Amino acid sequence: MTSKIGLKHIHAIAPYVGGRPISEVARDYGLDESKIVKLASNENPLGMPQSAQDAMIKAAADLGRYPDSNGFELKKVLSERLGVPADWVTLGNGSNDILELAARAVAQAGDEIIFSRHAFAVYPLATQAVGAKSIEVAPTSLYGHDLPAMLAAIKASGDKAKLVFVANPNNPTGSYLTAKEIEDFLVAVPSNIVVVLDEAYNEYLAPEQRYDAIAWVKRFPNMILSRSFSKAYGLAGLRIGYGVAQAHLTDLLNRIRQPFNVNSLAQAAAIAAFQDKDFLQKGFELNRAGYSQLTKAFEELKLSYLPSAGNFVLVKVGDDDEAGSRINLALLKRGIIVRPVGNYGLPQWLRISIGLPEENAAFIDALREILAQSK
């Protein structure tokens, strides 16, 4: 029987479910695609920068050849800006790839991987994929990482702990850890345990929140820094991210990294986008304005929300465990796609990606109408 084929820990995995595509929602509810608003996947509402589009067009002329498997030109740009050797950089098919490579490189059946409850869904998936055990640590009162509790979990794990995932800001809650909190944690973690600092939303941090994570990579040989081009740089559809770690860790990741895991168009676009400071700043300012627009509306509607350092806001839309799915369905029928987070253990909440002003307004109007009708 086919049910006997495959490993038990692979059968136990519930596959990752992304935000619903606009075309799918249009089909399911008989809607006009052009009028649908998608605020579900934390994508950049500005789309791809023109600089990246131009670079892709130029690179397309050479698509008959394999991409540079080592990503020489992109690594050169990254290493010069970040101030690290090129052999400290690993390119990934999205930063998701870096997270999975880290798990595969250091953990196996019988080991333990530690992360916070309500953190990115890929952490438990990457753990299950290698047959390791997930140690999910209870969050703080604001659904963020409780680093002292995570240190206690490491101590309780003994020699079974091999890897710790820390997201800052955290998805889907938007919680933020200060530089001191992270540094104190890195100092306390035993040097034989790898810490992945996942900074997929790092570019959205306010100036007063920013810190020098590269300095920690240089200081801590057991740290991997993971970053993405999918969010602030607008390259979600190209699937490209990168990791930064000292050479011995990077060597491990590259031993299991798929050849040609980042295509030529993605590499060319990333080189251009990474140097497009004007686009990055425009996106940052748009995000701050959108955050104010959404949170002001939530306050007017007397809805609880979590302070967010990312490009999304988690809002509580009811007190019963069906609230999130119920309001989500009503929004879908009105052509508004957001992200239910029941799979994160937050069934009363919805995660709203920050969009263009008119997209945010369309969502607010629809939500206001739905809540008024439910009274």
Residue-wise pLDDT for 137-177, tens only, equals 999 998 999 999 999 999 999 999 999 999 999 999 999 99
Q: How far apart are CA 202 and CA 204, in angstroms?
A: 5
Per-residue pLDDT, 12: 86
pTM of the model: 0.95
> For residue 3, is pLDDT > 70?
no
- Condensed to tens digits (0 to 9), the pLDDT of residues 33-78 reads 999 999 999 999 999 999 999 999 999 999 999 999 999 999 999 9
Side by side, the strands of the sheet bearing 312-316 are 312-316, 349-353, 339-340
> 250, 275, 300: which is the final residue of a domain?
275
For residue 195, how many other CB atoms are within 10 A of its CB?
22
Q: What is the CATH number of the domain that holds 297?
A: 3.90.1150.10
The domain boundary, picked from 241, 258, 275, lies at 275
The answer on 31 and 81 residing in a single domain is no
pLDDT band at 346 (very low <50, low <70, confident <90, very high): very high
Are 211 and 346 within one domain? no
Q: For residue 1, give Cα distances in angstroms to 5, 11, 13.
A: 7, 14, 19
What value, to the nearest 5°, has the Cα angle with vertex 28 and ends 23 and 30? Answer: 85
CATH of the domain at 211: 3.40.640.10
Number of domains in the chain: 2
- Residue 344, H or E segment: none
Q: What is the mean pLDDT of residues 267-289?
A: 98
β-strand partners of 224: 196, 245
Instruction: Return the structure tokens found at 226.
Output: 């993971």
On whether residue 57 sits in a domain, the answer given is no
Which of 103, 101, 256 has its CA nearest to residue 193?
Answer: 103
Q: Taking all residues of the chain, what is their mean pLDDT, rounded to a whole number?
A: 96
What CA dihedral angle connects 29, 32, 35 and 37, to 10 degrees?
Answer: 40
Are 89 and 123 contained in the same domain?
yes
- The Cα-based distances of 24 to 29, 327, 354 in angstroms read 9, 18, 21
Indicate the pLDDT class of residue 292, thresholds 50, 70 and 90.
very high
Cα–Cα–Cα angle for 127, 132, 135, nearest 5°? 75
Q: Is 361 within the bounds of a domain? A: yes
The CA distance from 233 to 239, in Å, is: 11
pLDDT band at residue 19 under the 50/70/90 scheme: confident
Please, are residues 245 and 223 in contact by the beta-carbon 8 Å criterion?
Answer: yes
Residue 89 CA to residue 79 CA, distance in Å, equals: 7
- Is the pLDDT at 1 greater than 80? The verdict is no
More confident residue, 14 or 141: 141
Residue-number span of the structural domain to which 116 is assigned: 64-275
Domain end marker among 257, 275, 293: 275
Residue in 366, 316, 306, 367 with CA at minimum distance from that of residue 341: 316
